[in-house]
Amino acid sequence: MIEPTVYDLSSPGRHGPQLPVLDVPVAPLPDGYLRTDLPLPELSELDTVRHFVRLSQRNMGIDTNFYPLGSCTMKYNPKVNEKAASLPGFVELHPLQDPEMTQGAMQLLLELQVYLAEISGFAAVTLQPAAGAHGELTGVLIMRKYQLDRGETQRTKILVPDSAHGTNPATTTMSGLTVVELPSDDRGNLDLEALKANLDDTVVGLMLTNPNTLGLFEEHILEITQLVHEAGGLVYGDGANMNAIVGVVKPADLGIDVMHFNLHKTFSTPHGGGGPGAGPVGVVEKLARFLPGPVVTVEHVNADSDDEFERNNFSEDGDDFRLVWTMPSKSIGRVRAYYGNFGVLVRAYTYIRMHGAPGLRRIAENAVLNANYLKVRLQNEASYPVAFGDRICMHEFVAQGILEGAPDIHTMDIAKRLMDYGFHPPTVYFPLIVREALMIEPTETESKATLDAFADAMIQIAREAREEPQLLKDAPHNAPVKRLDEVRAARQMILCRC
């Protein structure tokens, strides 16, 4: 049954709160301020609660279902994160409080900056950006400012592989730079010859995702970053796929100069509608002075002391240092109000502390293991083609909704049918360079039983595609609404009721 809208449930004159009787004289609003045509729904409190609770029960999320949405790292978000983020000392802080009163929160932010720097090998980290794409914009603006600062004003191009997330070219354009698209080679890597042909003194840098969106580790990564550096460019690392390498590889060791972290992917903070997100950015030493601020730094209370010993040493009880907000010397400026999405940062901090270094490494190992297990089952037992499927994949892989004996079945039909089996569909039709792409990322938090249930469903769907294709064409059958007319919805957009 389709849940009616609040407008359908509205009944004239019905309302929730009872206003107390006036104990002051009635004073009408001045002429022109009172609307007579305010079309708000009228419902009781109970009707309203039931309406929204019913809607929430139809929601599908990581707490209810397996959600293998490729490139999104829909891992379980541990409840301990919520416990930490709801501690009164954090919840009741105000960003305008005097730093003397918020030293604890600032210590958490400082430590998170240090942890992320250690995990990635970068020299400095800003926690300001509010999402992954926001981190990308921050990173590319830093790259641009670095080139301008050293007088390389002729550099206006950013190289972007054709397998990149759509945010990469969008970020480049938003930064006032020009995109040059580079092809992939026949093993799914960035084409080295195309890279060489485009590297000159007009290039600001290269944006690279490693592992890339095909779920493949760039086999020539060291050569790629060396070539870009020799041409005077910088390498941006899109950190969206960090879950595959966290605790195993430090991006800075690969020659990456600047990278964003998606805390809502790798570091288990809520995702999408459950957000907001956070997209901290890490940089190598030579870019640290361009970071947006404020960042937390340690200040020596006795830095100006006449006593040489006091000036150069912190005492053991630690009461002669304090944490302060500072703007890096050549900062690109603020990118967000106050100090980033603080509550999200607390959750990521908690996650890192709960895992420790060995735990973080196990995340990547199990994410890669789970993806390879699923990949091989789908290849061997249901003959789904997998893009560059002869290679070992990383945390995800791109299958194709192309089944022999089922010429009319497309990826969209398979995705819709998966909903009938209780699974959130994978990412579909991305990356663009793979036909009928089904991009599957199981993450490390799923059990073998869940992976097997998903593989069994995919195998069953492949059988149905050949024997009963209409079952797929009409799917979903068990969802609250049948297949939506996405084309009509996009062509005739009605975005609000009024």
Partner 1 sequence: MAYKFDATVRYAQSHDWARLEGDLVVCGISDYAQHALSDVVFIELPSVGDTVAQGDIYSTVESVKAAEQVYAPVSGEIVAVNDDLEANPELINEDPYGAAWIIKVKPSDAGELDALMDAAAYESLLAEHE
Q: Residues in the site for partner 1, rule: CB under 8 A?
A: 166, 428-430, 432, 435, 486-487, 490-491
Q: How far apart are CA 322 and CA 315, in angstroms?
A: 12
For residue 483, the minimal CB distance to partner 1 (Å) is 12
For residue 365, the minimal CB distance to partner 1 (Å) is 33
| 8 A C-beta contact, residue 214 and residue 188 | yes
For residue 166, the minimal CB distance to partner 1 (Å) is 7
A 10 A CB-CB count for 432 gives 12
| 8 A C-beta contact, residue 216 and residue 210 | no
Distance of CA 157 to the CA centre of its chain: 25
366: exposed, middle or buried (Cβ count in 10 Å: 0-12, 13-18, 19+): middle
**Tokens linked to 222:** 């060291």
For residue 487, the minimal CB distance to partner 1 (Å) is 4
| 8 A C-beta contact, residue 97 and residue 105 | no
379-418 burial: b if 16+ Cβ within 10 Å, else e = beebebbbbbbebebbbbbbbbbbbeebeebbbbbbbbbb
For residue 159, the minimal CB distance to partner 1 (Å) is 16
What's the number of CA atoms in the CB half-sphere (13 Å) around residue 113?
Answer: 26
CA distance to 110, 251, 412, per residue, from 246 (Å): 20, 9, 32
Beta-bridge mates of residue 314:
none
DSSP-derived letter for residue 310 is H
Given the complex with partner 1, which of 92 and 186 has the nearer CB atom? Answer: 186
Q: How far apart are CA 338 and CA 253, in angstroms?
A: 32
For residue 477, the minimal CB distance to partner 1 (Å) is 21
For residue 295, the minimal CB distance to partner 1 (Å) is 36
Given the complex with partner 1, which of 118 and 404 has the nearer CB atom? Answer: 404
Q: How far apart are CA 192 and CA 182, in angstroms?
A: 9
**Tokens linked to 335:** 């990118």
For residue 72, the minimal CB distance to partner 1 (Å) is 18
Given the complex with partner 1, which of 100 and 486 has the nearer CB atom? Answer: 486
Given the complex with partner 1, which of 22 and 490 has the nearer CB atom? Answer: 490
Given the complex with partner 1, which of 487 and 496 has the nearer CB atom? Answer: 487
For residue 486, the minimal CB distance to partner 1 (Å) is 5
Q: How far apart are CA 221 and CA 189, in angstroms?
A: 9
Q: DSSP for 54-105, please give it.
A: HHHHT---TTTS---BTTS------HHHHHHHT-HHHHT--TTS-GGG-HHH
Residue from 158, 164, 120 nearest 140 by CA: 158
